């Protein structure tokens, strides 16, 4: 069967819809024209020209109709093999390898790339043979078939070295390195990546990008090995490449990772510098994902230098972006960081809210390690607050997750937390069991710091039970602490050994360790002072950078103003010349009159301008006063409804929206007992507490008398209840002019089908009425059953 017949048969089999029918007709026309032209050529030319055209068509179809491309290529391949056309067979196998890979036919793709390589080998075409083989090994890497990959590279690498193309050699070495990296054989990966560097020497843009990518791979490998210096070194090399290429996106992202590397090295000033540069570049480019990562990185650095307000601002921006695009992994990471920040600020209620956000995210989507971190931190918060039962539940969940993933360092930490909880519960045997498990996993991890922490914790509980063993453990802890120069743990070991030796009656030994403890305390105090100085320097550097950035912006504005000024001067100069010519044509009396008129106009303009400025200032002051309650400085009722009416304009798009109605309990008694002046003080105090315990996106308004309304946009009813409960507790604990007060809270959500602000407020008010009815100082969520109260109250 000739090629035309094969193609005809192929298309008859494929024609089952109008789209393929059109393709078939066009192709038939192409074959007919080719046949007509072939009458004037030799049969040899006919075959070659037809095959070349059909091969080109198959290549073009791969982008638009991969199935048709595969079928056509197979038909051509049969013809080429029948004609013993080795070159065409090699090309078609290569094309089929690409098409099947695109169509996710992995085994077919591997077969065709292998055949293509073999055909090119017969033709002594080493270049295309190597290219086909590189495509083959990259598929093996994608499929994680590491043993096959290693065997194939052992055969391919010598061929590539003999051929001598440096880029091909680098590609093979990098693929081998990627294989080791994915198998967590980071030292082997580093060896291959380092070897590849020698072959990436061309100044071609593609080669330079590959060089930058290789530096990043080296940095990431050293990062996994926790070699911070080499991590920073290779990220710096990658940054140099991307800077030379003027690739702003890669520059910004590499600056962010470099900032993280410097943070791990405690070079906080340098880390802040890189992070700030990354954020500045992100302002110029469209890379929202990279910007969110940079904001998160900057927030973590600000936390390390104790600038918590800036840290919250940056991390919250990243959190809001991830929430907007529903990036669950990003939400989890930023929520955990927000939780950690609030823990540092001792605002445990807020910390729990953010950790709970991570815990409540869909299972199977959040990275298990991130989820376990939230559970672990919740365990610590509950342990510190004395809720040992809840602490144990959270800790055990985290522990099981870490065990499942075999994350030994985190198993060690969590086992130590569980042991602490058992110890607090008085269960010393279980505590000792988990301290020993923590120590075992710390040793498996190879972390001396984790081993020290486990040793000291275990020794602490053994003192008085097995004091000799406790002292032995503490001496081991002391030796490790000395080895890594961890003075705080050295101090703890000295103190505990001193106490243990005193219990054993070895007073001289106890005194010796006491002397070591005193000497080390002085050294630690000195280093703390130095650390404070370093933090102050970081604060100063941060402030300096902000000033420099602001100065640059001002300079840019001044430059623009200078340009405008010069343009104005040119225009004024031209106008002055015209005026001068006119003045020459006038007599001196007209000139004097014009001068007087001009002066009068200027005076009028000046008076009008001053009047306008004064009026504008007064209007701004009046607008502010008109929007605020004069006593509490909260928004007034009019502004409350303006805000809610604006929000309700997009009612169908609102997914989460809550309000709280807050009422001060027994406020009339306060006024009657202590007078209205004290009552005003209580009102102002409660209003201030409400305003300082909400988010920047929330609003507080005085609804009337002792009643307030809090708007909580983008807030679920569960979050609203937690916020209300947190505020209720703070009001209950607060004292205003020696007068304790409590508040009742009514909570409602847009989910309850309110169509207007008034309906939503009425729901919250009914919930507040229920809170009052139940005895006050409570938080109550609206329920449809409360509608009966409306009827009762109206009667």
State which fold the 287-364 domain adopts.
1.25.40
Judge whether residue 543 has pLDDT over 90: no
Q: Across-strand partners of 700?
A: 710
- The confidence score (pLDDT) of residue 579 equals 66
The structure tokens listed for 171 are 């590609």
Cα–Cα distance between 133 and 470 in angstroms, integer?
Answer: 61
**Residues constituting the chain:** 795
Judge whether residue 133 has pLDDT over 60: yes
Give the CATH architecture of domain 367-446.
Alpha Horseshoe (1.25)
Cα–Cα distance between 693 and 695 in angstroms, integer?
Answer: 7
Identify the helix (H) or strand (E) that includes residue 158: helix 146-163
What would the CATH number be for the domain defined by 1-116?
Answer: 1.25.40
Q: Which residue has the higher pLDDT, 17 or 654?
A: 654
* Residue 483 confidence class, pLDDT cut points 50, 70, 90: confident
- The confidence score (pLDDT) of residue 643 equals 94
The structure tokens listed for 239 are 């940054």
Range list of β-strands (E), 600-756: 657-664, 699-704, 707-713, 735-736, 739-740, 743-749
Judge whether residue 338 has pLDDT over 70: yes
Q: Which residues of 521-551 are buried (b: 16+ CB within 10 A; e: fewer)?
A: eeeeeeeeeeeeeeeeebbebbeebeeeeee
* Residue 674 confidence class, pLDDT cut points 50, 70, 90: very high
What would the CATH number be for the domain defined by 637-794?
Answer: 3.30.70.270
Q: Which of 37-51, 52-66, 380-394 has the lowest mean pLDDT?
A: 37-51
Q: Which residue has the higher pLDDT, 355 or 35?
A: 355
Q: Which residue has the higher pLDDT, 177 or 601?
A: 177
- The confidence score (pLDDT) of residue 529 equals 63
Count of CB atoms within 10 A of residue 707's CB? 19
Q: Which residue has the higher pLDDT, 787 or 319?
A: 319
- The confidence score (pLDDT) of residue 465 equals 87
Cα–Cα distance between 677 and 674 in angstroms, integer?
Answer: 8
Judge whether residue 597 has pLDDT over 90: no
Q: What is the chain's mean pLDDT, rounded?
A: 85
Give phi and psi for 504, each to the nearest 5: -80, -5
Tens of pLDDT, residue by residue over 741-794, are 999 999 999 999 899 999 999 999 999 999 999 999 999 999 988 876 555 454
| Domains of the chain by residue range | 1-116, 125-200, 202-285, 287-364, 367-446, 466-530, 551-583, 586-627, 637-794
H helices of 345-426, in order, are 348-360, 368-385, 388-405, 408-425
Mean pLDDT of 202-223: 94
Cα 742 to its chain centre, rounded Å, is 39
State which fold the 202-285 domain adopts.
1.25.40
Tens of pLDDT, residue by residue over 56-110, are 888 898 889 999 999 999 999 999 999 999 999 999 999 999 999 999 999 999 9
Q: Which residue has the higher pLDDT, 46 or 548?
A: 548
Judge whether residue 420 has pLDDT over 70: yes
Q: Which of 226-240, 551-565, 676-690 has the lowest mean pLDDT?
A: 551-565
The structure tokens listed for 538 are 């970081």
Tens of pLDDT, residue by residue over 748-761, are 999 998 999 999 99
Mean pLDDT of 716-744: 94
- The confidence score (pLDDT) of residue 377 equals 93
CATH match for 125-200 among 3.90.190.20, 1.25.40.10, 3.40.50.720, 3.30.750.24: 1.25.40.10
Residue 786 burial (CB < 10 Å; 0-12/13-18/19+)?
buried
- The confidence score (pLDDT) of residue 449 equals 86
- The confidence score (pLDDT) of residue 625 equals 66
Judge whether residue 423 has pLDDT over 80: yes
* Residue 111 confidence class, pLDDT cut points 50, 70, 90: very high
- The confidence score (pLDDT) of residue 742 equals 96
Q: Which residues of 359-382 are buried (b: 16+ CB within 10 A; e: fewer)?
A: bebeeeebeeebbbbbbbbbbbbb
Which position has the token pair 């067979």? 89
Tens of pLDDT, residue by residue over 705-720, are 999 999 999 999 999 9
Cα–Cα distance between 312 and 296 in angstroms, integer?
Answer: 10
Q: Do domains 202-285 and 367-446 have the same CATH topology?
A: yes
Q: Give Cβ neighbours of residue 335 (< 8 Å, ≥ 6 apart).
A: 319, 354, 355, 357, 358, 374
């Amino acid at each position: 069967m000739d090629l035309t017949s094969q193609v005809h048969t192929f298309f008859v089999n494929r024609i089952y819809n109008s789209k393929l029918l059109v393709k078939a007709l066009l192709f038939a026309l192409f074959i007919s024209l080719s046949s007509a032209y072939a009458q004037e050529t030799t049969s040899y030319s006919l075959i070659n020209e037809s095959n070349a055209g059909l091969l080109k068509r198959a290549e073009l179809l791969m982008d638009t109709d991969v199935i048709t491309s595969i079928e056509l290529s197979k038909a051509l391949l049969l013809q080429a093999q029948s004609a013993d056309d080795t070159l065409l067979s090699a090309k078609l196998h290569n094309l089929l390898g690409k098409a099947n890979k695109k169509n996710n036919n992995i085994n077919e793709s591997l077969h065709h790339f292998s055949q293509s390589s073999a055909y090119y080998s017969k033709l002594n075409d080493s270049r295309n043979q190597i290219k086909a083989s590189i495509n083959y090994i990259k598929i093996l890497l994608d499929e994680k078939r590491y043993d096959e990959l290693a065997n194939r590279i052992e055969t391919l690498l010598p061929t590539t070295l003999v051929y001598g193309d440096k880029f091909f050699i680098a590609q093979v070495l990098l693929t081998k390195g990627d294989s080791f990296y994915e198998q967590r054989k980071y030292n082997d990966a580093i060896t291959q990546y380092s070897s590849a560097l020698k072959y990436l020497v061309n100044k071609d843009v593609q080669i330079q990008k590959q060089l930058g990518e290789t530096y990043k791979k080296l940095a990431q490998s050293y990062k996994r090995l926790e070699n911070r210096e080499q991590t920073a070194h290779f990220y710096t090399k990658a940054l140099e490449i991307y800077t030379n290429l003027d690739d702003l996106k890669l520059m910004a992202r590499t600056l962010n990772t470099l900032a993280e590397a410097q943070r791990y090295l405690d070079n906080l000033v340098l880390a802040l510098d890189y992070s700030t540069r990354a954020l500045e570049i992100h302002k110029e480019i469209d890379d929202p994902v990279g910007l969110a990562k940079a904001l998160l990185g900057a927030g973590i650095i600000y936390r390390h230098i104790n600038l918590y307000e800036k840290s919250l601002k940056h991390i919250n921006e990243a959190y809001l972006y991830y929430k907007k695009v529903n990036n669950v992994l990003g939400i989890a990471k930023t929520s955990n960081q927000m939780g950690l920040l609030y823990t540092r600020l001792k605002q445990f209620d807020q910390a729990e809210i953010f950790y709970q956000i991570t815990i409540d995210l869909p299972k199977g989507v959040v990275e298990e390690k991130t989820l376990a971190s939230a559970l672990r931190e919740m365990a610590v918060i509950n342990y510190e607050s004395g809720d040992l039962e809840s602490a144990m539940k959270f800790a055990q969940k985290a522990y099981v997750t870490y065990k499942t993933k075999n994350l030994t360092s985190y198993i060690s930490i969590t086992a130590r937390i569980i042991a602490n909880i058992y110890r607090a519960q008085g269960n010393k045997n279980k505590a000792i069991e988990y301290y020993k498990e923590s120590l075992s996993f710390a040793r498996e991890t190879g972390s001396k710091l984790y081993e020290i922490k486990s040793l000291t914790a275990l020794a602490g509980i053994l003192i008085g039970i097995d004091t000799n063993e406790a002292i032995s453990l503490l001496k081991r802890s002391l030796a490790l602490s000395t080895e890594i120069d961890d003075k705080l743990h050295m101090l703890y070991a000295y103190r505990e050994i001193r106490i243990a030796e005193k219990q054993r009656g070895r007073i001289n030994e106890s005194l010796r360790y006491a002397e070591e403890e005193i000497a080390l305390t002085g050294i630690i105090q000195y280093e703390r002072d130095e650390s404070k100085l370093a933090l102050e320097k970081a604060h100063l550097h941060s402030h300096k950078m902000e000033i420099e950035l602001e100065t640059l912006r001002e300079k840019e504005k001044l430059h623009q103003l200078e340009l405008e000024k010069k343009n104005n001067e040119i225009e004024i100069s031209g106008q002055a010349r015209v005026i001068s010519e006119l003045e020459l044509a006038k007599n001196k009396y007209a000139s004097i009159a014009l001068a007087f008129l001009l002066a009068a106009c200027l005076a009028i303009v000046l008076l009008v301008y001053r009047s306008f400025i004064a009026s504008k200032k007064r209007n701004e002051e009046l607008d502010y006063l008109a929007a605020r309650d004069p006593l509490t400085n909260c928004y007034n009722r009019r502004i409350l409804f303006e805000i809610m009416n604006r929000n309700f304009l997009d009612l169908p798009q609102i997914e989460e929206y809550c309000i709280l109605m807050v009422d001060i309990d027994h406020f009339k008694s306060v006024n009657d007992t202590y007078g209205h002046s004290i009552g005003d003080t209580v009102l102002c105090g409660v209003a201030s507490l409400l305003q300082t315990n909400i988010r920047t996106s929330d609003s507080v308004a005085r609804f009337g008398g002792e009643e307030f309304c809090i708007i909580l946009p983008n807030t679920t009813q569960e979050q609203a209840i937690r916020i209300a409960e947190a505020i209720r507790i703070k009001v209950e604990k607060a004292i205003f002019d020696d007068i304790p007060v409590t508040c009742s809270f009514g909570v409602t959500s847009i989910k309850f089908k309110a169509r207007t602000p008034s309906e939503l407020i009425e729901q919250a008010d009914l919930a507040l009425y229920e809170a009052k009815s139940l005895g006050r100082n409570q938080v109550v969520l609206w329920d449809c059953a409360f509608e009966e109260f409306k009827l009762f109250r109206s009667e």
